[in-house]
Every structure is written in structure tokens, then in C-alpha cells.
């Protein structure tokens, strides 16, 4: 591998005091370091979004380096596929153990590159390891060849279905959850027998490099899992490298660019393109629990969660009480760099302007800020912002905000809430709060979303067996669960004739009597 960190990250997180000391430095570096990344010829330099302190230099890998990496991966994949599901399981469980033993080191890298609190980084790493464990242990059961019934007409055939590796899978990961999100593709693609080339976000190259180096310590001569570091050009090179599939997580706009490049070589892709997730609160909901979930879903990770909560539709009979509870809980949250902070900075500097535009549009169109407002935006941090009665045509309602902003609107009933929740082009996740089990199921089944949680938010994230993905601008394809394993596999059906069919129709010497009997059987079976 050609990418390596030339400067080791600091071992301790900066304190709140150190932030004030580096404010002057941050101002000086903004022009030189757009979005927290500096490009110096062939070097990618990443920075701590809390302080602008340098974390490390990584290779800015071009098309030639990506091609060489893919070539190595193709060679290693043959060995990997030949191990079978049981052999790969042993390797992946060893990798899982290696990650778990050094989890504190990985957490520190994630904290430094994203700015999120240590507790949040720990949660991310633990969930990622759970998915790696599930994929390793269940791939054989899901993908190994198994018999299927041939049916009455083809009773002379022995039929089976199996799933084969695609080859080399290119994974392009995001910066908001640089371990958990890409692991949903990496673990499942590896368990299915593929080699993986991972291109982490240019904001989190150290996290991707750490994962790859951990694998390399186990299998130094088998580059089944490799990392290529760089910017958008590196990602484009990966898409053009004729990998066998691309898994991308990011904005819908970038997803379109990825698909356009993949179309050049008909490379299939699985896309997770972001969300504008809605929460619905019924009149019978436990309001304190719903408010707690709304604040967690909307403010956790500084609101930088694709399946977080951005819109809340509350039945008008409990609207005021719900808003009061959210307001109380949101006002207690304080972002910062210290270990006691509720959440960290905006990891991607440019996202601050997106949040500002959305809040301004909501207020200009008649919405009301009950917590915070435009003056809450003090980059790189954004204090909690809660907006109510925001018109549905505001970009704060229709477009992904990706910041610690909650929009809460009142509705007459659950039917209106469902209609509003389904009105955007995004359809990734959603949630509903009600004490009535049947009502919750009724709402969940009518929401246009890839995943719906009832009386919780993000509860599905720890259920490795549940497939995850979106609809519309939120993408297509699935990761996680059995569907996630099949997503990175090629199905092959085999039918073996055990004996000559009693009614032999698949011949040019077809007998009239056989066809007459077949017609009688057909009508007997299908017209009664």
C-alpha cells in the first residue's frame, strides 16, 4: 500500500481552553484549508475540526495508484474466495478481535478527525464491530449453495441456489460516521468473498488507514482489504477502475456524479444518498420519551446523521406540551471540545453555511425559533436550534440540513403527518411515537422510507440482521443483514436433471399425447 500517515495524531483531545488559544490560528488557516483539508501537490493533509491542528499527511492517490491497488486486490481475492465461508469467517473474527482490542486507539482517531465526543465515537466503533461479527458468522448460512423445491412440473430436476463473490468492491465512505457506515459495506462485501478497496472521506483518511493497517497486521501478504486516500478525483478513479461494484455513501448530488461515472463501464452501485428523516408524534405518545428521542436524533453528532431526525410532525392536541419538553432538553445541550460536551463541531466547514441558509429561510418564511436562531451559529460550533411552524416549502423542510436543527410542525392527525413526512424526495428513515401497537404498525407501513422505528430513533442501527437503505434521493440497494450479504454477491442457479421427465416436452420430437396430458394437468391446477 502506498498511503501512510507521515505525522502521528496527538494522543489527547484538546480542551475547551485550547480552543480559545487556537482561534487566531483557525482564522488564519481558513483560506488555506477549505473544509478542513489542505491539498499540497500529492499530499492530503487533514486537520482537527475543533482546533485546526494538523493531524497527518496522507498520499493523494491518482489513477495509476488506484489501478495498481485494484490489481493487487484482484489477485488476493482469488485466495480469499477460495477459503470458502468458513475460512473467511475465521479471518474476519480475528480481524474483529484485533479491532476490539485496540478500540480505544481507533476511537481517538475518530474523535480527532471528526470532533465528536469520545462516548459517541465509542458507540460508533462498538456498533461497527457488531456488524463485522454478524457478517462473518452468517455469511455461510445466507450465501452457501442450498436446495430449492423444483415443483410439480419440474419434479425430475434437482435445483439449488448459491451466491458467488463479485470480485473487487470499491467502497467510498462518508466523514460523519467514518467507521460504522463504511463497515456496513466492507464487512458484508468481505464476508461474501470479495476483496475491498476503501476510499475514506478526505476529512477522515486516518480512520480508513487505521482499519487497513489493522487488517495488514493479520494478513501482510494478502491485500484483501486496502485503502486509497485522496479527494474526489481519487474517488472518481476508483469508480473508473472497473471494480465489480461500488458502494457509495454521501449526498444525493455526489451520488449522481458517482453513478454517471459508473455508467461509463456499467459498473453496478449501491447508493446511500442522505435523508430528511421525519418523526411523527401521536396524541397518545409518551411525550417525554418522544422529546428525548427527538433531541437525540436531531442534535446527536451535531445533527450530522443521515438517519437522524430533521422534521417532527406532532398531532396538535399535544403540540405545545411536546415543544415545551424539547425546548427544555435542547437548552441543556452545550457543544464543545471537552469530554463533557453534548456534541462536537461541524466536521465539514462548508456545512455551516448550509445550516445558516436553512435557518434563515425558515425564519424569513414565517417560522419561529423557540431555541437558538441565526446567532447560534458560531463556527465551527452550532448551538441547538429548534424551529416551529415552518412552512412546508422552506428548504429547512425539503432539503437535508445536516446540522443540530429541529423543525417541529403541528398536524391535525396521523394521516396528515404521514402525507407531510412522505412529501420530500428523500426517503431513508423515519420514526413514529404512539402507545398503540397497531397504530404504530399502521403508520410505519405507510411511511415512504427504507427503515422505520416505533417509539425509538436509530434503534435499528444495532440490529445487524436488518437491511438498511433508502428510496428516491436517499438511494437504492441495501447493506446490513442477509440482503447486505447478497448485495455484494452474484446469484447462480443450478438445475440438475435426475431422470427423464415423464411428460417429455423439451424436445423437437414432442409427442402429442404428452402435450394433451400436460394441458389437462395445467387446466386442472390453474383454472379451478
Catalytic residues: 272, 306
Q: Kindly give, in sequence order, each residue whose CB lies less than 8 Å from that of residue 338, ignoring residues fewer than 6 positions away.
A: 15, 16
Q: Could you tell me the end-to-end alpha-carbon distance of the chain, in angstroms, rounded to an integer?
A: 66
Q: Strand, helix or coil at 508?
A: coil
Bridge partners of 407, per DSSP, are 311, 387
The torsion of the CA quartet 85, 87, 92, 97, rounded to 10 degrees, works out to: 140
Residue pointed to by grid coordinates 465515537: 121
Task: With CA atoms as reference, report the closest residue to 414 among 279, 510, 217.
Answer: 279
Planar angle of CA 302, 465, 197, nearest 5 degrees: 70
CA distance 29 to 36: 9
3-state DSSP: the chain helix, strand, coil percent, rounded to 5? 45, 20, 35
* Whether 426 contacts 383, CB under 8 Å: no
**Which neighbouring-strand residues pair with 149?**
none
Burial of 142 (0-12, 13-18, 19+ CB in 10 A): buried
Q: Which helix (H) or strand (E) holds 370?
A: strand 368-371
State which H helix or E strand residue 258 sits in: helix 252-264
Q: Alpha carbon of 278 to those of 16, 117, 408, 419: distances in Å?
A: 33, 25, 10, 11
Residues 242, 266: Cα–Cα separation, whole Å: 9
Cell numbers that stand for 461 in this block: 442501527
* CA-wise closest residue to 347 among 171, 132, 176: 176
**Strand, helix or coil for residue 382:** strand
Please name every residue paired with 369 in a beta bridge, in sequence order, or none if there are none. Answer: 387
Phi, psi of 308 (to 5 degrees): -75, -160
Query: Closest Cα to residue 124, out of 229, 207, 35?
Result: 207
To which residue does cell 447493506 refer?
Answer: 479
Distance CA 370, CA 326 (A): 10
d(CA 503, CA 514): 5
Dihedral (Cα; 347, 349, 354, 359), 10-degree rounding: 80
| Three-state secondary-structure class, residue 296 | helix
Amino acid at each position: 500500500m502506498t498511503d501512510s500517515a507521515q505525522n502521528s495524531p496527538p494522543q489527547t483531545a484538546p480542551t475547551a481552553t485550547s480552543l480559545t488559544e487556537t482561534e487566531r490560528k483557525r482564522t488564519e488557516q481558513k483560506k488555506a484549508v477549505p473544509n478542513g483539508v489542505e491539498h499540497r501537490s500529492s499530499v492530503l493533509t487533514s486537520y482537527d475540526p475543533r482546533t485546526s491542528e494538523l493531524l497527518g499527511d496522507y498520499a493523494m492517490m491518482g489513477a495509476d495508484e488506484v489501478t495498481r491497488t485494484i490489481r493487487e486486490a484482484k489477485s488476493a481475492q482469488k485466495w480469499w474466495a477460495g477459503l470458502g465461508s468458513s475460512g473467511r469467517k475465521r479471518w474476519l473474527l480475528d480481524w474483529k478481535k484485533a479491532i476490539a482490542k485496540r478500540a480505544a486507539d481507533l476511537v481517538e482517531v475518530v474523535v480527532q478527525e471528526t470532533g465528536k465526543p469520545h462516548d459517541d465515537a465509542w458507540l460508533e466503533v462498538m456498533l461497527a464491530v457488531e456488524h463485522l461479527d454478524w457478517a462473518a458468522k452468517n455469511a455461510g448460512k445466507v450465501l452457501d449453495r442450498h436446495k430449492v423445491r423444483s415443483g410439480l412440473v419440474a419434479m425430475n430436476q434437482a435445483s439449488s441456489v448459491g451466491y458467488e463473490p463479485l470480485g473487487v468492491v470499491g467502497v467510498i465512505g462518508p466523514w460523519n460516521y467514518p467507521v460504522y457506515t463504511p463497515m456496513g459495506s466492507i464487512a458484508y462485501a468481505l464476508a461474501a468473498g470479495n476483496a475491498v478497496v476503501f476510499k475514506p472521506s478526505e476529512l477522515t483518511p486516518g480512520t480508513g488507514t487505521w482499519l487497513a493497517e489493522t487488517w495488514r497486521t493479520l494478513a501482510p501478504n494478502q491485500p484483501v482489504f486496502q485503502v486509497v486516500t485522496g479527494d474526489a478525483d481519487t474517488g472518481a478513479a476508483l469508480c473508473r477502475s472497473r471494480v465489480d461494484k461500488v458502494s457509495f455513501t454521501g449526498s444525493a448530488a455526489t451520488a449522481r456524479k458517482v453513478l454517471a461515472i459508473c455508467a461509463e463501464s456499467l459498473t453496478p452501485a449501491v447508493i446511500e444518498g442522505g435523508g430528511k428523516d421525519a418523526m411523527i408524534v401521536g396524541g397518545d405518545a409518551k411525550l417525554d420519551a418522544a422529546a428525548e428521542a427527538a433531541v437525540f436524533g436531531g442534535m446527536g453528532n451535531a445533527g450530522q446523521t443521515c438517519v437522524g431526525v430533521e422534521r417532527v410532525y406532532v398531532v396538535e392536541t399535544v403540540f405545545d406540551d411536546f415543544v415545551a419538553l424539547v425546548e427544555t432538553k435542547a437548552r441543556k445541550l452545550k457543544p464543545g471540545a471537552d469530554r463533557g460536551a453534548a456534541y462536537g463541531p461541524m466536521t465539514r466547514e462548508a456545512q455551516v453555511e448550509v445550516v445558516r441558509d436553512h435557518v434563515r429561510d425558515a425564519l424569513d418564511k414565517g417560522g419561529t425559533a423557540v431555541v437558538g436562531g441565526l446567532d447560534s451559529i458560531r463556527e465551527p460550533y452550532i448551538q441547538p436550534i429548534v424551529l416551529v411552524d415552518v412552512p412546508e416549502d422552506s428548504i429547512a423542510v425539503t432539503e437535508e440540513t445536516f446540522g443540530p436543527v429541529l423543525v417541529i410542525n403541528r398536524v391535525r392527525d396521523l394521516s396528515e403527518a404521514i402525507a407531510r413526512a412522505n412529501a420530500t424526495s428523500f426517503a431513508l428513515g423515519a420514526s413514529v411515537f404512539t402507545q398503540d401497537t397497531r397504530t404504530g404498525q399502521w403508520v410505519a407501513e405507510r411511511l415512504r422510507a427504507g427503515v422505520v422505528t416505533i417509539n425509538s430513533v436509530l434503534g435499528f442501527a444495532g440490529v445487524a440482521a436488518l437491511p438498511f437503505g433508502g428510496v428516491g434521493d436517499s438511494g437504492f440497494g441495501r447493506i446490513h443483514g442477509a440482503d447486505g450479504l447478497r448485495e455484494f454477491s452474484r446469484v447462480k442457479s443450478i438445475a440438475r436433471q435426475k431422470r427423464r421427465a415423464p411428460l417429455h416436452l423439451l424436445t423437437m420430437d414432442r409427442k402429442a399425447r404428452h402435450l394433451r396430458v400436460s394441458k389437462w394437468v395445467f387446466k386442472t391446477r390453474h383454472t379451478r
